[in-house]
């Protein structure tokens, strides 16, 4: 049984006799569903994200939060009467947007340094030193070192941009290492030697022949990087840091923290504070886990597809 399951997962079992890329199928499906939820959030969400959803008992408003299974509220509400289904759907927009921008910046930085470092030996030595220094410190430590002073910024726009920049500059090393190694392998390929014999300059060869051949690698790294960015957002949320911060909201005579952005990180951080209301923590945590798993499966599937060809 386990041998069959392992063979199936490895892509060796197929009715047509062709290898089946199971991670690619599952990853693409899950990522597609995530994107669909983000794009169609206004259509799928039962309520606007900031709408207060009350339930009455004997003519009086019941105290929040409402647990999962409350009639009309599948996943319950938070402390401020926000429907959790609606918040999670709308939160996917901000979270995927912030992490998507961070992933693109990471790819640009890592690819630029990797391509130049792999193609030009002198630049490569400098890149090696930079990679050694930057890789020695965990991404979470770098992010905390940068985000703690930035967290005090009062301007919402500046603090949001600063948060995304912190996500962007902490995870590019793996991209640089992968692209640098790929370029070094391609430097002595026959088609590269042929390009030199035609009189093409090194910069032209790099642009026309090297870059297209590492494009598939960068696509794999982009999926991995997206998962890594989501993981870093979750880690920062566990430590109480998330984009936008909170404002105060008075609910039934008590002051509650209301996140500026409806995004998964803020929901996770608020859930950690509310001990005894386990669903407020578990629901965003499960969504984070599924999203990270989706992008990692997509990356693994793309890696297998690239290795096959």
Q: Is the pLDDT of residue 182 over 90?
A: no
Domains for the chain: give ranges and CATH numbers.
34-308 (1.10.3720.10)
Q: Burial letters for 169-204: b for 16+ Cβ neighbours within 10 Å, e otherwise?
A: bbbbbbbbbbbbebbeebeeeeebeebeeeebeeee
Helix (H, G, I), strand (E, B) or coil at 65: coil
C-alpha count within 13 angstroms, C-beta hemisphere, residue 46: 14
Strand partners, 154: none
Torsion, Cα of 112, 303, 195, 128 (10° steps): 40
The answer to whether residues 51 and 262 touch, using CB atoms and an 8 Å cutoff, is no
How large is the average pLDDT for residues 159-174? Answer: 88
Closest CA to 96 of 229, 293, 241: 229
Q: How many helices (H) and strands (E) does the chain have?
A: 14, 4
Element (H, E) at 249: strand 246-251
Predicted confidence (pLDDT) per residue in 75-129, tens digit: 988 888 888 999 999 999 999 999 999 999 999 999 999 988 888 888 889 999 9
Torsion, Cα of 159, 165, 171, 174 (10° steps): 170
Q: What angle do CA 185, 169, 267 make, to 5 degrees?
A: 125
Dihedrals phi, psi of 201, to nearest 5 degrees: -75, 155
Predicted confidence (pLDDT) per residue in 135-146, tens digit: 888 888 888 888
List Cα–Cα distances, 8 to 2, 12, 24, 295, in angstroms.
10, 6, 13, 20
**Distance between CA 79 and CA 71 in Å, rounded?**
17
Tokens of 145: 């070192």
Contacts of 291 (CB under 8 A, 6+ apart): 34, 95, 96, 227, 230, 264
Tokens of 17: 């006799």
Q: What is the mean pLDDT of the chain?
A: 83
Q: What is the pTM of this model?
A: 0.87
Element (H, E) at 257: strand 254-259
**Distance between CA 222 and CA 214 in Å, rounded?**
12
Range with lowest mean pLDDT among 58-67, 217-226, 257-266: 58-67
Query: What is the dihedral sign for C-alpha 271, 251, 96, 36?
Result: positive
Range with lowest mean pLDDT among 11-20, 92-101, 140-149, 197-206: 11-20
C-alpha count within 13 angstroms, C-beta hemisphere, residue 93: 14
pLDDT of residue 286: 95
């Amino acid at each position: 049984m386990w041998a069959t399951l392992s063979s199936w997962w490895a892509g060796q079992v197929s009715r047509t006799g062709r290898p089946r890329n199971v991670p690619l199928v599952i990853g693409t499906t899950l990522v597609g569903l995530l994107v669909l939820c983000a794009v169609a959030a206004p259509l799928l969400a039962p309520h606007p994200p900031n709408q207060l959803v009350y339930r009455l008992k004997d003519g009086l408003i019941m105290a929040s939060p409402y647990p999962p299974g409350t009639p009309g509220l599948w996943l319950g509400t938070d402390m401020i009467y926000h429907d959790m289904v609606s918040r999670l759907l709308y939160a996917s927009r901000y979270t995927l947007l912030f992490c998507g921008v961070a992933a693109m910046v990471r790819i640009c930085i890592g690819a630029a340094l990797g391509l130049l470092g792999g193609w030009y030996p002198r630049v490569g030595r400098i890149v090696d030193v930079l990679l050694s220094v930057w890789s020695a410190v965990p991404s979470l430590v770098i992010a905390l070192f940068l985000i703690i002073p930035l967290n005090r910024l009062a301007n919402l726009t500046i603090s949001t941009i600063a948060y995304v920049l912190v996500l962007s500059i902490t995870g590019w090393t793996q991209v640089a290492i992968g692209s640098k190694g790929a370029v070094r392998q391609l430097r002595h390929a026959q088609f590269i030697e042929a390009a030199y014999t035609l009189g093409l300059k090194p910069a032209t060869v790099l642009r026309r022949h090297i870059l297209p051949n590492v494009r598939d690698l960068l696509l794999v790294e982009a999926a991995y990087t997206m998962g890594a960015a989501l993981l870093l957002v979750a880690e920062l949320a566990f430590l109480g840091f998330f984009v936008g911060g909170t404002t105060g909201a008075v609910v039934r005579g008590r002051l509650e923290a209301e996140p500026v952005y409806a995004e998964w990180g803020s929901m996770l951080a608020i859930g950690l504070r509310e001990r005894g209301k386990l669903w407020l923590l578990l629901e965003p945590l499960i969504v984070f886990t599924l999203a990270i798993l989706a992008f990692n499966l997509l990356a693994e599937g793309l890696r297998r597809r690239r290795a096959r060809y």
